[in-house]
Amino acid sequence: MGTDLLFVAVVLLGTLVMFMLGKIRYDLVALVALFLIVVSGIISPEDAFYGFSHPAVITVACVLVVSRGLLNAGIVDLIASLVNRVGNKPFFQRGILSTLVALSSGFMNNVGSLSLFIPITLSVSKKHKISPSSLLMPLAFASLLGGMVTLIGTPPNIIIATFRGQQEGMEAFRMFDFSYVGGFVAIVGLLFVIFVGWRLIPQRKGQSSSGDIIEIAKYITEVRVPEKSEAVGKRLSELEYDPEEITIVGLIRGEQNYPDPYPTRTIREEDILVVKADTDELQGFLDAYGFELAESKEIGPESLGSEKVGLLEVVVMPDSFMEGRTAGRVNLRNRFGINLLAVAREGGGLRGRLSNIRIRAGDVLLLQGNREILHEIIPRLGFLPLAERSLRLGQPRRVLLAFGAFALAVALSAIGLLPIQISFLGAAIFMVLGGFLSLKDAYASIDWPVIILLGAMFPLSQALDQTGGTELIASGILQAASQADPWVALTIVFVGTMFLSDLVNNTAATVLMAPIALNIAYGLEVSPDSFLMAVAISASCAFLTPVGHQSNTLVMGPGGYRFSDYWRMGLPLEAIIVVTAIPLLLIFWPL
* b/e per residue 131-153 (b: at least 16 CB within 10 A): bbbbbbbbbbbbbbbbbbbbbbb
422, 432 in Cβ contact below 8 A?
no
Determine what percent of the chain is predicted with pLDDT higher than 90. 22
Residue of 187, 194, 172, 188 whose CA lies nearest to 536: 172
Residue of 350, 346, 344 whose CA lies nearest to 561: 346
Q: At what angle do helices 55-73 and 396-414 cross, to 10 degrees?
A: 160
Q: How confident is the model at residue 137 (pLDDT cuts 50, 70, 90)?
A: very high
> For the ranges 74-78, 121-125, 260-264, 337-341, which has the lowest average pLDDT?
74-78
**Cβ neighbours of residue 429 closer than 8 Å, sequence gap 6 or more:** none
369, 260 in Cβ contact below 8 A?
yes
Q: Tell me how far CA of residue 44 lies from CA of 40, 50, 73, 364, in angstroms.
A: 9, 11, 45, 44
Look at strands 272-277 and 246-253 and give their pairing.
antiparallel
**Cβ neighbours of residue 21 closer than 8 Å, sequence gap 6 or more:** none
Compute the average pLDDT of residues 308-322.
Answer: 79
CA distance 185 to 141: 12
pLDDT of 244 higher than 80: no
Q: Which pLDDT score is estimated for 391?
A: 47
How far, in whole angstroms, is CA 471 from its chain's centroid? 34
CA distance 8 to 14: 10
Q: At what angle do helices 3-21 and 469-480 cross, to 10 degrees?
A: 80
* Better pLDDT: 513 or 396: 513
Residue of 13, 35, 16 whose CA lies nearest to 26: 16
Q: Which pLDDT score is estimated for 269?
A: 87
Convert the pLDDT of each residue in 417-464 to its tens digit: 888 889 999 999 999 998 888 898 888 888 888 889 888 888 888 888
Give me the DSSP letters along 77-126: HHHHGGGGG--S-HHHHHHHHHHHHHHHHTTS-HHHHHHHHHHHHHHHHH
Q: Which pLDDT score is estimated for 209?
A: 43
Q: At what angle do helices 448-466 and 26-39 cross, to 10 degrees?
A: 30
Convert the pLDDT of each residue in 461-490 to its tens digit: 888 888 888 888 888 888 877 677 889 999
Compute the average pLDDT of residues 150-167.
Answer: 90
Q: Which pLDDT score is estimated for 215?
A: 54
Residue 205 backbone phi and psi in degrees, to 5: -75, 125
Q: How confident is the model at residue 211 (pLDDT cuts 50, 70, 90)?
A: very low
pLDDT of 313 higher than 90: no
Q: How confident is the model at residue 547 (pLDDT cuts 50, 70, 90)?
A: confident
CA distance 557 to 385: 12
pLDDT of 110 higher than 90: no
Convert the pLDDT of each residue in 257-290 to its tens digit: 787 777 888 888 888 888 877 666 677 788 888 8
> All domains of the chain, ordered by start, with CATH?
3-208+407-588 (no CATH), 210-386 (3.30.70.1450)
pTM: 0.78
Q: At what angle do helices 55-73 and 448-466 cross, to 10 degrees?
A: 160
Convert the pLDDT of each residue in 112-132 to its tens digit: 788 778 877 887 777 777 778
Give me the DSSP letters along 117-136: HHHHHHHHHHHTT--THHHH
Q: Which pLDDT score is estimated for 273?
A: 84
Compute the average pLDDT of residues 326-336.
Answer: 74
Q: Tell me how far CA of residue 372 lies from CA of 310, 377, 444, in angstroms.
A: 9, 9, 19
If you average pLDDT over every residue of the chain, what do you get? 82
Convert the pLDDT of each residue in 1-44 to its tens digit: 578 888 988 998 888 888 877 778 888 998 999 999 999 988 88
> For the ranges 53-62, 100-109, 367-376, 541-550, which has the lowest average pLDDT?
367-376
314, 383 in Cβ contact below 8 A?
yes
Compute the average pLDDT of residues 174-188.
Answer: 93
Burial (CB count <10 Å: 0-12, 13-18, 19+), residue 20: middle
> For the ranges 195-209, 406-420, 517-531, which has the lowest average pLDDT?
195-209
